[in-house]
Amino acid sequence: MTDITVPKLNNNDVTYILVEWLIAGGEPVTAETVVAVVEGSKAAEELVAGASGVLHHMAEPGSEHPVGAVIGRVFPADRDRRRHLSAEPAGASDTTVTGPSPSESLITEPARALAATLGVDLARLQGLGVPVVRRADVRRLAAPESGTAGPPDEATRSGEREDLTLPRSQLGVADSVTRSHAEIPAAFTVVRVDVGAGLAYALAATRRLHVLVGLPELLLEALGAVAADFPVCFATPHGPATMRRATGIHVAVTVDVGAGLYLPVVRDCDRRPLRELAAELMRLRRLAMRARFRAADLTGGAIVVSLNTDADVVLTQPIVAPGMVCAVSLGGVHSEAVLDPVTGAVRERRTVMLGAAYDHRYVNGGDAVRFLKAVKSRLENPGEPSGQIQSR
């Protein structure tokens, strides 16, 4: 007999929702058969059986469980399953659980919380006709109504306060931010970057590579290029006096397309060409629109890039995520008038503010400035070999 347990998918979540069983109870499975989907605050993950035999459900879809909880079992044969069930006392939890009736959709707890936040009636969700209603279904149903407000209800007119329930994804953000401020003595440094050449290069690369390239993609490439010279910025704290070197230059990038804040990870930024980095970032943006991340998309980051590229944003100080040492921020593009050093004429220069928040226990201000200036040089001289940039 093999237990199917709730895994730990990240450091933020302590409980997970069993979204659905993909294989009915009593059906045969192999060790690699995907049998269930569980969901945390940021991502969903498929669970495999782990052994060959007959599947037995021990939890109902929509129920919430702590890490390590047993939600199912795989018995060697159906007779073993039946023998086990017959030996259980009446009312024991080890029973096959049936899902909702065919005419009724199962609404997960995260979907219920989001529905309450967006004011979507549960009856409308039941009318979608899908077996399991997830957060993405709630957002899709609420989208046409965004920006419209109905008449105030009696509670609002009478001056009574209404509670706003945070969605599960924001609760994960809240936990991470709270831990960061409580545990990490962070400092912050910012430099100005001339991105005129970078913007022109990105436009040409978009046309040449047939994939969207902008400053965020160039920043990923730049971080990959300088990582070997600044290993501490990509390391993981391991005790008060030691750190673990990153196994890969994997960059967690903030993505918020209106469906919550996510930190998907672009892997191997030091080894992948610009086209692959751009295509991967676009793939992750699309997943964010549907809130369909897997745990593998959100884990393993060695450094954070906080994108705040709206034209009105001057600079942003990001948090240093627990388990990391450094977070880089990219602000919006601004135009400024400068004097040409040769002719003395006034010309336009387009710049961004590039910031680095860092754990001051491991990185000092001088280290941060050298790191930022190395990244700045890459952004100001895109496409040039590293040797030529360093020789300047």
For 240-294, the pLDDT digits (tens) are 789 999 999 999 999 988 777 889 999 999 999 999 999 999 999 988 887 778 8
Q: Give the pLDDT confidence score for residue 84 in this predicted structure.
A: 82
Q: Give the pLDDT confidence score for residue 387 in this predicted structure.
A: 56
Backbone φ and ψ of 307, nearest 5°: -95, 120
Nearest to 197 by CA among 391, 382, 12: 382
pLDDT band at 208 (very low <50, low <70, confident <90, very high): very high
Nearest to 187 by CA among 351, 356, 48: 356
Cα 297 versus chain centre, distance? 7
CB 188 within 8 A of CB 359: no
Q: What gap in Å lies between CA 349 and CA 4, rounded to an integer?
A: 59
Mean pLDDT of 202-227: 97
Mean pLDDT of 207-212: 95
- pLDDT greater at residue 33 or residue 260: 33
Q: Give the pLDDT confidence score for residue 62 in this predicted structure.
A: 87
State the CB neighbour count (10 A cutoff) for residue 148.
6
pLDDT band at 369 (very low <50, low <70, confident <90, very high): very high
Q: What gap in Å lies between CA 371 and CA 14, rounded to an integer?
A: 35
Q: Which residues 6+ apart lie within 8 Å of 190 measured at CB?
A: 315, 329, 353, 354, 355, 356, 372
Q: What is the pLDDT of residues 298-335, one digit of tens each?
A: 889 999 999 999 999 998 999 999 899 999 999 999 99
Q: Give the pLDDT confidence score for residue 101 in this predicted structure.
A: 47
Whether the pTM exceeds 0.85: the reply is no
Helices then strands, counting H and E runs in the chain, come out as 12, 19
* Domains, the chain, ordered by start: 2-87 (2.40.50.100), 173-390 (3.30.559.10)
pLDDT band at 94 (very low <50, low <70, confident <90, very high): very low
Q: Is the pLDDT of residue 17 over 80?
A: yes
State the CB neighbour count (10 A cutoff) for residue 167.
23
Nearest to 270 by CA among 293, 247, 241, 239: 247
